[in-house]
Amino acid sequence: DGGITQSPKYLFRKEGQNVTLSCEQNLNHDAMYWYRQDPGQGLRLIYYSQIVNDFQKGDIAEGYSVSREKKESFPLTVTSAQKNPTAFYLCASMVTSGGPQETQYFGPGTRLLVL
Amino acid sequence: EDQVTQSPEALRLQEGESSSLNCSYTVSGLRGLFWYRQDPGKGPEFLFTLYSAGEEKEKERLKATLTKKESFLHITAPKPEDSATYLCAVRTDYGGATNKLIFGTGTLLAVQP
């Protein structure tokens, strides 16, 4: 089945620790995105990538880092510089060739909690 | 500044009681308005894309419409399984290939049997 997978489903971070969230897609989509979701707030864009080996900061990139070495994969690292990391993290992907297929599809999410 | 506002924040309906959710937007150039459904603890599930004023899309008990300033998600004779948070997002014409979406905060719908 084609889709977007995120792992783990739950992740616990200790003080001063960097953690990496995985996002993989087999939809052959060019663009990939990371969002953060907090209660009562809309999805906020952390980073996005429209092509392999290239990515741009979103609205709340501080304390996060990404890489895009393969088309299928877009991992997100939450660094110790992110002081309030507890949130639900969503990965999305989108085809960018034009037309009605240009819709962002989401993975199941990873909930990050701080110990 | 581009902005998306959803109302109401929460809506409680009796099973079979039809209603509408609103998504108003102020953007420089609309390249698409998207509706998603999100269940607790899960990722958003795509429902509809609307591109131009006057366009309508339907899926089961849901119907989405679009004007130049807002979109409505009409729910006809809802069932308890329609309970979820409904998210609206817009894609704007930045003139470049940014392909970013701006999301509203969602409407939490509860349908009681």
Q: Helices (H), strands (E): how many in chain B?
A: 0, 11
Quick one: which of A68, A66, A65, A61 has its CA closest to A46? A61
pLDDT at residue B97 greater than cutoff 60: no
A18 min Cα distance to partner chain B (Å): 23
Among the ranges given (A23-27, A92-96, B86-90), the one the predictor scored with the smallest mean pLDDT: A92-96
Token look-up 């507890």 returns: A86
- In this complex, is the C-beta atom of A99 within 8 Å of any C-beta atom belonging to chain B? no
pLDDT at residue A1 greater than cutoff 70: no
Using the 8-state DSSP alphabet, how is residue A70 labeled?
B
Using the 8-state DSSP alphabet, how is residue A80 labeled?
T
**pLDDT recorded at residue A102:** 75
pLDDT at residue A107 greater than cutoff 90: yes
Q: Both tokens of residue B39? A: 């269940």
Mean of the pLDDT values across residues B60-83?
97
**pLDDT recorded at residue A52:** 95
Say how far apart CA B78 and CA B44 lie, in whole Å.
Answer: 19
**Bridge partner residues of A33 (DSSP):** A48, A92
pLDDT at residue A99 greater than cutoff 70: no
- Give tens-digit pLDDT for A33-86: 999 999 888 899 999 999 999 999 999 999 999 999 999 999 999 999 998 999
CB pairs under 8 A between A and B: 58
Q: Both tokens of residue A39? A: 């209660």
Reduced to 3 states, what is the DSSP secondary structure of residue B103?
strand
pLDDT band, residue B2 (cuts 50/70/90): confident
